[in-house]
Amino acid sequence: MTDMHHAFSRRHLLAASATAAAGGVLTGPPAQAKAPLSNTQAPYFYRFKIGSIEATVVSDGPLPLGEPSGTFLGVSKEEVAKMLSDNFLPSDTVTLEQNALVTNTGDRLVLFDNGMGAEKMFGPTTGKLVASLKQAGIDPKDIDALVITHAHIDHVGGMMGEGGARNFPNAQIYISQADHDFWTDEGKLGTPMKAFVEVARKNLGPNRDRIVFVKDGQEVVPGVQALAIPGHTIGHTMYMITSGEKSICNVGDLTHHQVLLLERPRLEFAYDTDPKQAAATRVKALDMLAAQKIPLLAYHFPWPGIGHVAKHGDGFRYFPSPMQMVL
């Protein structure tokens, strides 16, 4: 039987490579790889099926929040660090993904949320959405509908291009009136919400004539039902997408983190408009998804953000779905 400790001993490996580096007799001089290091990641899209709908997740790029204790509230810094390290995640910084969903029903192409656009509030890694769409073979001009969960900077920032042209020139836009009115309100420009309001105004303002306000329970486009989940923002909306027997719930920012805001769903999140209402809504909606075993697509979960939630103690656990590599 193999001595496991010896087989996986890091010290042993280090000693061997040191011998090699010193030109020792064990492994000889360092080998030359046949190919250089790529230094590039795979294309940032993932395709899967929901019944007969062809769905594609496209990314706007990672969104680094930095040190987590100022963002995830109601728990000590030490406890946040432990929850993260217990889940093999860095404990000193949190990075969210931005998973935007595209659905093609065969007669309509729908994009849910559209990333940070040119805004660099969270650094240089965001703003990849249009490039990701192109990698996925999707022309932004072909998008028929932009369905919006809420008017935050990382969900509507990509509507307008840098030069003031529309990134999705042929799309109708669907958003709740409550969120539209709240985040485009000129009266909030003198408040700490200023940066978010400016971006919402810049992206929603020029598109006012294309906006259709969605109501709770309404079927906004065929097979897509709006469900109000107020709290993170006052008009925050998730979308249940159904084809035949299959459904997936595009939950937007119902929960921002697969550990911190699932294991402890009542924690508060600094970017919530009404953190107490957000926590109550989070528990209620996650309870429903867990009880009905409906998969979710979470905008900020680890790429590509698709999985199930199940009740676990006082909170929930996330079970990422296996990738569908054959459609």
Judged by the rule CB under 5 A, the positions of this chain that interact with Zn ion are 154, 253
Task: Please state, in angstroms and rounded to a whole number, the distance separating the CA atoms of residues 67 and 137.
Answer: 36
SS3 279: helix
216 within 8 A of 228, measured Cβ to Cβ: yes
For the chain, the 3-state helix, strand and coil shares in percent, each to the nearest 5, are 30, 25, 45
Closest approach, Cβ 271 to Zn ion, in A, equals 7
Closer residue to Zn ion (CB): 53 or 119: 119
Burial of 215 (0-12, 13-18, 19+ CB in 10 A): exposed
Minimum CB separation from Zn ion for residue 155, in Å?
6
Residues in CB range of 120: below 8 A, 6 or more apart: 126, 127
For 189-192, the CB contacts below 8 A with 24+ separation are none
In angstroms, give the least distance from the CB of 31 to Zn ion.
45
Identity of the residue, 170 or 303, whose beta carbon is nearer to Zn ion in the bound complex? 303
Minimum CB distance to Zn ion, residue 135 (Å): 22
Distance in angstroms between the alpha carbons of the first and the last residue of the chain: 42
> Apex CA 112: angle with CA 111 and CA 118, to 5°?
85
Query: Taking the complex as a whole, how short is the minimal distance between the CB of residue 35 and Zn ion, in angstroms?
Result: 38
Nearer to Zn ion, 99 or 247 (CB): 99
Name which of 97 and 154 has its Cβ closer to Zn ion.
154
Phi-psi region of 74 (alpha: psi -120 to 50; beta: other; left: phi over 0): left
Nearer to Zn ion, 105 or 132 (CB): 132
Strand partners, 292: none
Nearer to Zn ion, 154 or 268 (CB): 154
CB of 63 to Zn ion, least distance (A): 8
Residue closer to Zn ion by CB (options 105, 258) is 258
What single DSSP character describes residue 55? E
Q: Which is nearer to Zn ion, 54 or 198 (CB)?
A: 198
Query: Which SS3 state, helix, strand or coil, does residue 43 take?
Result: coil
Min dist CB 14 to Zn ion, Å, is 42
Which tokens sit at 32?
A: 């030359």
| CB 299 to Zn ion: min, Å | 6
Six-digit token string for 54: 């062809």
CB 57 within 8 A of CB 101: yes
C-alpha to C-alpha distances, 5 to 18, 26, 35, nearest whole angstrom: 20, 21, 33
Question: From the CB of 153, what's the least distance to Zn ion, in Å?
Answer: 8
Burial of residue 208 (number of CB atoms within 10 Å: 0-12, 13-18, 19+):
exposed
Residue 252 and residue 150 in contact, taking contact as beta carbons nearer than 8 Å: yes
Nearer to Zn ion, 242 or 269 (CB): 269
